[in-house]
């Protein structure tokens, strides 16, 4: 099982390509279908299950598998993860959690350990985080997470907040709606959504459409923007009811010249009517009263560098 994921990034890309082509890779292959034409074999079922995982999750699984198989190889542990008994797997994982170190021979951070445990590289009817067979393994897991701070004297590190001076520079760069252009308006909308919704740098932006957010009013008749429906994020995939759902996050209107709601609605009015993407390619030449964007979406890589460009332009 591990050898399939230990390969280079090319193998991951090939897996992603396969999952994007279900017609050829699944339904077009007659070996996946039984003689009755109605049943799917285990390989087909595994492929369908993988379709529900994001590309980042699949890459993370490959990384976790490599970390486990490298450790097991050094310990001369030969285990078929698809068939090993739960009790035996629990013993192996307990030892793995206790002994795993980074490439620099350092204790792994709690987030690294959680990543290793979050998506095991097998499809089985067992839960390594909840089943009773894994109680001791998970106790070791929690112990090693705490050890990162107690043994090394480390403290939890948070990302620094944006300094007031930098916020003033950003405000000066964005300007107002009367003097803005297509690029700055888009950058201002993107920054507001990041700031008020607490989103990661490039997560999910390409999936945003004109209808992703909607304007609503609260019990006091105050207008606000919120998600039209629950979206999938890295921390909320929609299948676990205990995961946090950010669908009720709100951006309220205010009376400043930088009101995020007014800016967002103005931005919507300037988008190309034939393109449903929320972030479209800005036009260099446009009429102030007309459409400011091309009939083409802004791609993920461009979206991922917006903050870098904003910082450089505003001298932050």
Is position 156 within any domain?
A: no
Q: Is residue 265 part of a domain?
A: yes
170 and 61, same domain (yes or no):
no
Together in a domain, 178 and 117? no
Task: Write down the pLDDT at residue 265.
Answer: 96
**pLDDT per residue as tens digits for the range 239-292:** 344 334 455 789 999 988 899 999 999 999 999 999 999 999 999 999 999 999
Q: What is the pLDDT of residue 50?
A: 60
| Residue 159, domain member (yes or no) | no
Task: Tell whether 212 and 125 lie within a shared domain.
Answer: no
Residues 146 and 169 in one domain: no
Kindly state whether residues 124 and 187 are assigned to the same domain: no
Position 266 scores a pLDDT of 96
Range of the domain at 204: 164-236+243-314
- Ramachandran angles phi, psi of 221, nearest 5°: 65, 25
How many domains does the chain fold into? Answer: 2
> Helix-strand-coil percent breakdown of the chain, rounded to 5?
50, 10, 45
Q: Is residue 184 part of a domain?
A: yes
Distances (CA, A) of 275 to 143, 191, 280: 51, 21, 8
Residue 73 sits in the same domain as residue 168: no
Same domain, 78 and 200: no
Question: 36-70: per-residue pLDDT in tens?
Answer: 555 777 667 666 666 655 666 667 667 778 888 88
Task: Identify whether 155 is part of a domain.
Answer: no
Say whether both 140 and 175 belong to one domain.
Answer: no
Same domain, 10 and 138: yes
Answer yes or no: is 32 within a domain. yes
Asked if the model's pLDDT at residue 11 lies above 50, the reply is no
Burial 92-104 (b: 16+ CB within 10 A, else e): bbbbbbeebeeee
Mean per-residue pLDDT, 119-128? 74
Do 110 and 249 share a domain, yes or no?
A: no
Q: How far apart are CA 6 and CA 12, in angstroms?
A: 9
pTM score above 0.75: no
pLDDT in tens, 150-187: 765 555 566 677 888 999 999 999 998 888 999 999 99
Which of 127, 150, 173 marks a domain boundary?
150
Specify if 158 maps to a domain.
no
Is the Cβ–Cβ distance between 194 and 307 less than 8 Å?
yes
Please give the Cα distance from 65 to 119 (Å, whole number).
10
Indicate the length of the chain as a whole number: 316
Residue partners of 308: CB distance under 8 A and separation at least 6: none
């Amino acid at each position: 099982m591990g050898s399939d994921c230990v390969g280079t990034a090319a193998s991951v890309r090939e897996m992603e390509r396969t999952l994007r082509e279900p017609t050829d890779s699944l339904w077009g292959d007659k070996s996946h279908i039984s003689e009755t034409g109605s049943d799917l074999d285990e390989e087909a079922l595994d492929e369908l299950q993988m379709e529900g995982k994001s590309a980042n999750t699949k890459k993370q699984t490959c990384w976790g598998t490599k970390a486990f198989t490298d450790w097991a190889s050094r310990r001369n542990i030969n285990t078929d993860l698809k068939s090993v008994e739960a009790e035996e797997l629990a013993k192996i994982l307990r030892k793995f959690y206790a002994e795993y170190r980074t490439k620099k021979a350092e204790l792994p951070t709690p987030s690294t350990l959680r990543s290793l445990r979050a998506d095991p590289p097998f499809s089985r009817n067992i839960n390594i985080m909840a089943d009773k067979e894994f109680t001791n393994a998970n106790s070791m897991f929690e112990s090693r997470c705490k050890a990162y701070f107690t043994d090394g004297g480390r403290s939890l590190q948070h990302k620094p907040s944006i300094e007031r001076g930098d916020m003033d520079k950003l405000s000066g760069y964005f300007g107002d709606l009367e003097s803005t252009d297509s690029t700055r308006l888009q950058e201002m909308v993107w920054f507001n959504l990041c700031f008020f919704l607490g989103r990661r740098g490039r997560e999910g932006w390409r999936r945003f459409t004109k209808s992703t957010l909607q304007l609503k009013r609260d019990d006091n008749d105050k207008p606000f923007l919120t998600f039209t429906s629950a979206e999938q994020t890295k921390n909320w995939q929609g299948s676990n009811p205990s995961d946090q759902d950010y669908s009720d996050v709100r951006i309220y209107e205010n009376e400043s010249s930088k009101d995020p709601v007014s800016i967002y609605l103005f931005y919507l009015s300037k988008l190309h009517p034939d393109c449903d993407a929320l972030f479209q390619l800005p036009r260099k030449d446009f009429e102030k009263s007309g459409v400011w964007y091309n009939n083409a979406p802004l791609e993920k890589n461009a979206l991922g560098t917006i903050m870098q460009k904003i910082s450089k332009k505003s001298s932050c």
